[in-house]
Each structure stands twice: as structure tokens, then as C-alpha cells.
Amino acid sequence: MSRSPAETRARVEKSLRGRYWAERRFRAYGLGAVLLGVLFVVFLFGTIISKGLPAFRQAQVTIEITYDPAIIDPEGKRAPEALASADYAAIVRASLRARFPDAEGRVAGRKVMGLVSNSAASVLQKRVIDDPKRIGTKERVTVLASDDVDQLLKGRIDRTAPQEERPIDDQQLAWIDALQKDDALSLRFNTVFFTNGEEQPHAIKSLPARFDASGLATEQFEATSKDGTKIPYFVTRPKKLNGPAPTVLYGYGGFEVSLTPGYSANFGRQWLTHGGIYVVANIRGGGEFGPAWHEAAVKKNRQRAYDDFAAVAQDLIKRGLTTPKQLGIMGGSNGGLLVSAVMVQHPELFGAVVCQVPLVDMIAYMHIGAGASWEGEYGDPAKPDERAYLLTYSPYQNVKKGVKYPPVFFVTATSDDRVTPVHARKMAARMEEQGHEVLFYENTDGGHSAAADHKQSAEMWGLSFVYLAEKLGLKS
């Protein structure tokens, strides 16, 4: 049925009116969304400004500092290391006590130090390092106040509250009032936001160097384990070293313990500075790459840790860093189990072994010391399937007469109530009975560390490194 021109026009106009209305509604929605967004932005910036504005004002304390040479540089050599490691906190404490003579005793000393930020010491350190001529002089220095003092001055701590209900006690309030009266404490514009943005980190305090590490370098390599897994390890050695050298390979590989490069006075002073190489293996069973790295070598998969360690040893030899006669291995506790197991499985790879406070009898271990608590790590030999895989690597059950093993030094302690000396005693006795070269040392004290104090520790490590030096040919 055909429509008249008037009807068609009316339908078109109706359709256009609907479209125009839809467009106006859409524009209204869009405008509303924009306005809402603007309101959110205004609210956001308002919140940032209202909350963050107090940060631009920081409580600062001005104190008279005496740069006491007896504390900063008692030898008077102005050595950079001495200036960097001086006890600048003691300088701050002495200056505050000079300002407040009633701050006597340890408790009052801690309270008076609670007036200033922990950064005060680093401020003094930087000033001395920048100009050592300050040593032996006095000057007024402005440092940041502590957080509690800052919050008090900003009205966020009620000074009228009972003393036990506020972080600042009455004596500290009296000191704060005295500082404010002398215009030595106030809220000031915090220029740190603008002046320290690109400042490089600098040392605040450090222990003295135990050996000269300037001639050493640390590198990371990878070995390929028996199942194809890449096993990283770190090598620290003298930079000028050419050719293979006596090497100590250290490992642990258990209980999700991570071995990472670190400063070792023992290895540095007694091994590296004499021309030796020190290697740390990041084998499975440890925690270097998270729980999965640990779980990959527990219970029935324990052999993976030993394969990883052997792979690192083989890689060191392949790279020409050492030779089997020059390669020694060291480990303690679970690491003692590691080195004794790998020694039994790959005797041809090593020239010496130092086995410290070890587990070695994995069939009886749950009845010795704290062994029952490690079932989740190794398994239960009372269960036939778990006993079967424990028997495949347990050093005590696998060491054999007639096999040429590298010489081994067992270190343990009578007072070790964790692993106990029983494991080391049994293994040393069996190997000696079988005709192998064994050296055994049992300290009376020291527990699982096999050393009760620094003197005993020095003796234990000294024995270990002298043993390795003699067996691996390290020339001092």
C-alpha cells in the first residue's frame, strides 16, 4: 500500500526527532561523565594536597657539633676508610648530652637520641668526608628531628595525654620545649625533596676490611646437570690468575637455604689471597630460585642435588679453572651429607674433602639427634619405597673397600645435639677400617657450629684450610 507524500514526510520527521533526541541524550551522558571525571580529579588532587602538604614542612633540630678526633680519626691519618666507618652516632649523642646535662645513663642516652632522626649520623659523616678539616672543630648543624618529634610539632601527638599513652615522655617534652625556646627546633620547609633527588647512595658505616679484595673478581657460570637442568655457580678468584689453581667448591643444597655471593673473611684471608679459587654452587634443594628449586631435590629426587654438584665440579675442570687433583669440596650439616655422597659417587673428581658436622647414615638418621624432624626433607627409611632410594646415596652404606677415595677431613663437635657427632664418628671409623685416608677432629664445645667462640672458630677454619692447602697444593 503506497503512502502519500504527507505521510512519508511525517514518518521521516518522527524518525529524525527520535535520532536527534538520542544524540542529545548521548551528549548529555558524555558531558556528565566528563564532569564526574573532573570532580574525581579535583577530589584526588585535593586529597593529595591536604594529606601531602605537611610533608613539605619537617621538624628540624639545630645542635652544636664537636667533631671529636678521638672518635672520628684516633690515628690522625685521615684515611677515607676510617672517616667513613667512624661512630658518628656517638658524636651526635655527645653533642646532645652537652646540650642536656641531665641526659645521664643509658636510658636517658637513648631518649635524648630519640629527639633526632637516625639520618643525623650520616649527615655528619658526609660533612667530614667532604671536608676533613672539620675534625677537631665545632659548628652548628641542622638535622632532621625524629618522627615522634615531627608528629608532636604537627599536632598529631597530644602532649596533655598521660605519659604512658604517648611516645614522648615528660623529660623529652622538657628538652623539646628548651630547644624551641632557643629557636633550635621548628617546622621548616623540607628542601630534601628538591636537593637530594639525584644524590647517590653513600656508605654510613662498615666493618674494617679483613683482607684485600681489590685483586679479586667474581664471575657466574652455568653447568649442565645430568637431566639437562642449568645449574648456576659463582667463581671468585684472583684477577691475574692464569691456568688451573687449587679450588674449593662449597655447597649445601637443602631445606630451601640459598647460597649467594658474600664477603667471607675466612675464605678471603685464608684461601683467596693465597692464590686459591672459591666456588659457590647453587644446586637444587636450595632456595635460590624459590620453593620449586627446593622441592626439585627432596626425598626421592635427592640425587638431583648430588648430580648438580658433580656437574659443577666437571664444568670447573672443563673450563680449565682447576684439575681433579686441585679440586676440593667442602660442606657442613646437610652440606656434609652432600660432599660425602658426591665423594663416594665421584671419587675421581676430587683431591680432598672437608666434611663438617655431617649426616652420613641415612638409614639410621631418624634415630640420631634431631633426625626425625627432617623426614619431610629426606624421607623415612622405615617405609620400603623411601628406604630404597635412601640406600642409593647414603654415604655410610655405599662407601667401599678397594675404591680410591680422595683424602677426607671430618669436623664435628661432642656437644652437637642437632646432627650429633655420631655420623662423623661412624663414617670416619668405617673409612679408616677400609683403609682410606681419613683425618678426624672433634671439638668438645660449639654445638652444631663445632666452635663455641671466635678462638675455636678460627682454629677450626684454620685446620680446614691448612688441610686443603696441603692436599690441593696451594702455595702461600
Return the bridge partners of 218, or none.
236
d(CA 322, CA 311): 14
| pLDDT exceeds 60 at position 193 | no
Q: pLDDT grade, residue 394 (50/70/90)?
A: very high
Q: pLDDT higher for 400 or 34?
A: 400
DSSP string, 385-445: HHHHHHHHH-HHHH--TT--PPPEEEEEETT--SS-THHHHHHHHHHHHTT--EEEEEESS
Q: pLDDT higher for 146 or 452?
A: 146
What pLDDT is recorded for position 389?
A: 97
Closest CA to 110 of 54, 168, 42, 63: 168
What pLDDT is recorded for position 261?
A: 85
pLDDT tens digits, 77-98: 888 888 888 899 999 999 999 9
| pLDDT exceeds 60 at position 377 | yes
pLDDT tens digits, 216-234: 999 999 999 999 999 999 9
pLDDT tens digits, 17-30: 777 777 778 788 88
Q: Mean pLDDT, the chain, as a whole number?
A: 90
Closest CA to 221 of 330, 325, 311, 339: 311
Q: pLDDT higher for 167 or 198?
A: 167
Q: Which of 95, 117, 225, 333 is catalytic?
A: 333
User: Using the 8-state DSSP alphabet, how is residue 289 labeled?
Assistant: T
DSSP string, 215-280: TEEEEEEEEE-TTS-EEEEEEEEETT--S---EEEE----TT--------HHHHHHTGGGT-EEEE
What pLDDT is recorded for position 379?
A: 97
Q: pLDDT higher for 378 or 157?
A: 378
What pLDDT is recorded for position 17?
A: 72
**How far from 249 is each of 224, 280, 338, 339, 354, CA to CA, in Å?**
16, 6, 12, 10, 10
Q: Is 448 noted as a catalytic residue in this protein?
A: yes
d(CA 468, CA 465): 5
Q: Where are the domains of the chain?
A: 55-189, 216-472
Could you tell me if 185 and 149 are in contact, meaning their C-beta atoms sit under 8 angstroms apart?
yes
Q: Where do we find the cell 671468585?
A: 236
Fold that domain 216-472 belongs to in CATH: Rossmann fold (3.40.50)
User: Using the 8-state DSSP alphabet, how is residue 204 labeled?
Assistant: -
pLDDT tens digits, 287-321: 999 999 999 999 999 999 999 999 999 999 999 99
- For residue 13, what is its C-alpha cell? 520527521
**How far from 73 is each of 78, 129, 197, 416, CA to CA, in Å?**
7, 12, 30, 43
Mean pLDDT of 196-215: 73
Could you tell me if 427 and 395 are in contact, meaning their C-beta atoms sit under 8 angstroms apart?
yes
| pLDDT exceeds 60 at position 198 | no
Closest CA to 256 of 315, 201, 220, 298: 298
Closest CA to 134 of 120, 123, 118: 123
Exposed/middle/buried for residue 204 (C-beta within 10 Å: 0-12, 13-18, 19+): middle
Could you tell me if 144 and 120 are in contact, meaning their C-beta atoms sit under 8 angstroms apart?
yes
Could you tell me if 354 and 377 are in contact, meaning their C-beta atoms sit under 8 angstroms apart?
no
pLDDT tens digits, 401-414: 999 999 999 999 99
Q: pLDDT higher for 470 or 48?
A: 470
User: Using the 8-state DSSP alphabet, how is residue 153 labeled?
Assistant: H
Task: Write down the pTM of the prediction.
Answer: 0.64
The values of phi and psi at residue 197, to 5°, are: -60, -35
Q: Is 119 noted as a catalytic residue in this protein?
A: no
Q: Which of 294, 423, 436, 448 is catalytic?
A: 448
- For residue 2, what is its C-alpha cell? 503506497
Q: How far is CA 442 from the centre of its chain?
A: 31
Percentage with pLDDT > 90 across the chain: 67
pLDDT tens digits, 231-263: 999 999 999 998 899 999 999 999 999 998 889
Instruction: Give the lowest-confidence range in 278-292, 353-367, 408-422, 452-466.
Output: 452-466
Mean pLDDT of 446-474: 91
Q: pLDDT higher for 68 or 20?
A: 68
- For residue 47, what is its C-alpha cell? 586529597
What pLDDT is recorded for position 44?
A: 81
